[in-house]
């Protein structure tokens, strides 16, 4: 009798372990919200079946099949939501693209080719998707604001640099894309954590300030002054975004300490 009970306990623990592994197939937001409760419910039901001396195999099989169906449906719903987000961003990017498209027909000297419009559309779409996918994962307003400022500033820098290179024909201005490169690499290394993103934005500001100092402009005094002001504005925006990420990081640390 004791041997049978011990065997049942071993089987029950095995089923609970397998069920916990199955729950990992749920999307992370769902798993973080309901996973612990589902695992506890399964544990309690297994114990009830064990105490009632009813077989666990058919019960566990039924629960596993039911849970697997829920996993499939939940992942499909998440995929549908992602597709809807992509469609909204794609249509929004297309609507914004109408501005330079119409301007190219009305403004004299605006001679963009088809490749330029494709590049700009990719910038619009990439910026929108980055904000949609990154900001919605965080609840802190300062994190979302930091993402918004960083993406808008990076987009504006890439846009203005593209226009300047196209108009002036000075390929040395492509060095400004190194600022965006610092941002991309830093975000990947930081894994989108607020503290790492704060350091990334500060590094972007420092990189841009260094470029503004060492890159010879050779422009007339009025244009050089406007360029200096533009550099200063971007540096301030990157620093402001970094401070927002720092605020989000400190707020998160304080919350963890309170818990």
Give the pLDDT confidence of 123-171 residue by residue, as tens digits.
Answer: 888 888 878 877 666 667 888 889 889 988 988 888 777 766 555 556 6
Q: Are 238 and 201 in contact (CB under 8 A)?
A: yes
Judgement on whether residues 59 and 160 belong to the same structural domain of the protein: no
Asked if residue 66 and residue 20 are part of one domain, the reply reads yes
The reply to whether 74 and 118 lie within a common domain is no
Tens-digit pLDDT profile for residues 190-245: 887 889 999 999 999 999 999 888 876 566 677 678 778 888 999 999 999 999 99
Distance CA 14, CA 145 (A): 46
Burial of residue 39 (CB within 10 Å: 0-12, 13-18, 19+) is middle
Round to whole Å and give the CA distance between 110 and 163.
Answer: 10
Of 110, 145, 160, the residue that ends a domain is 110
For residue 207, the model assigns a pLDDT of 93
Residues 20 and 117 in one domain: no
Q: Counting beta carbons within 10 angstroms of the beta carbon of residue 108, is it exposed (0 to 12), middle (13 to 18) or buried (19 or more)? A: exposed
Q: Which pLDDT does position 217 carry in this prediction?
A: 59
Same domain for 116 and 235, yes or no, is yes
| Co-location of 124 and 66 in the same domain | no
8 Å CB contact between 67 and 18? no
pLDDT for the residue 201: 95
In this structure, what token pair is assigned to residue 128?
A: 């929108």
Tell whether 126 and 76 lie within a shared domain.
no
Q: Into how many domains does the chain fold?
A: 2
Residue found under tokens 């729950």: 23
The predicted pLDDT at position 235 comes to: 94
Reading the block at residue 236, the tokens are: 């301030």
pLDDT band at 3 (very low <50, low <70, confident <90, very high): very low
Q: Residue for token digits 């169906």?
A: 69
> 244 and 155: one domain?
yes
Q: Are residues 11 and 118 in the same domain?
A: no
Q: Which of 73, 91, 110 is the last residue of a domain?
A: 110
Question: What's the rounded Cα separation, in Å, for the pair 198 and 90?
Answer: 29
Q: Does 228 share its domain with 123?
A: yes
Task: Write the pLDDT tens digit of every residue in 70-116.
Answer: 887 887 777 677 777 888 888 888 888 888 888 777 777 677 777 77
User: Where among 92, 110, 128 does a domain terminate?
Assistant: 110
Same domain, 166 and 241: yes
What is the domain extent for residue 229?
A: 112-258
The answer on 177 and 204 residing in a single domain is yes
Task: With beta carbons less than 8 A apart as the criterion, state whether 168 and 145 touch.
Answer: no
């Amino acid at each position: 009798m004791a041997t049978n009970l011990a065997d049942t306990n071993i089987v029950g623990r095995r089923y609970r372990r397998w069920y916990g592994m199955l729950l990992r197939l749920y999307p992370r937001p769902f798993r973080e919200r309901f996973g612990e409760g589902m695992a506890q419910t399964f544990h309690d039901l297994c114990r009830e079946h064990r105490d009632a001396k009813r077989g666990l195999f058919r019960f566990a099989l039924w629960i596993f099949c039911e849970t697997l169906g829920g996993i499939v449906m939940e992942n499909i719903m998440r995929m549908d939501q992602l597709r809807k987000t992509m469609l909204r961003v794609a249509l929004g990017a297309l609507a914004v693209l109408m501005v330079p498209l119409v301007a190219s027909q009305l403004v004299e000297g605006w001679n963009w080719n088809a490749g330029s419009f494709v590049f700009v559309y990719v910038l619009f779409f990439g910026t929108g998707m980055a904000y949609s996918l990154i900001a919605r994962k965080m609840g802190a307003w300062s994190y979302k604001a930091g993402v918004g400022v960083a993406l808008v500033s990076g987009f504006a820098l890439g846009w203005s640099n593209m226009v300047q290179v196209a108009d002036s024909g000075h390929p040395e201005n492509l060095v400004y894309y190194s600022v965006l490169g610092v941002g991309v690499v830093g975000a990947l290394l930081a894994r989108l954590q607020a503290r790492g993103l704060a350091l990334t934005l500060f590094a972007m500001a420092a990189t841009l300030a260094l470029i503004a100092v060492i890159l010879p402009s050779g422009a007339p005094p009025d244009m050089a002054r406007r360029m200096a002001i533009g550099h200063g504005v971007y540096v301030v925006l990157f620093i402001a975004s970094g401070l927002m990420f720092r605020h989000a990081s400190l707020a998160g640390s304080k919350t963890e300490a309170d818990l």
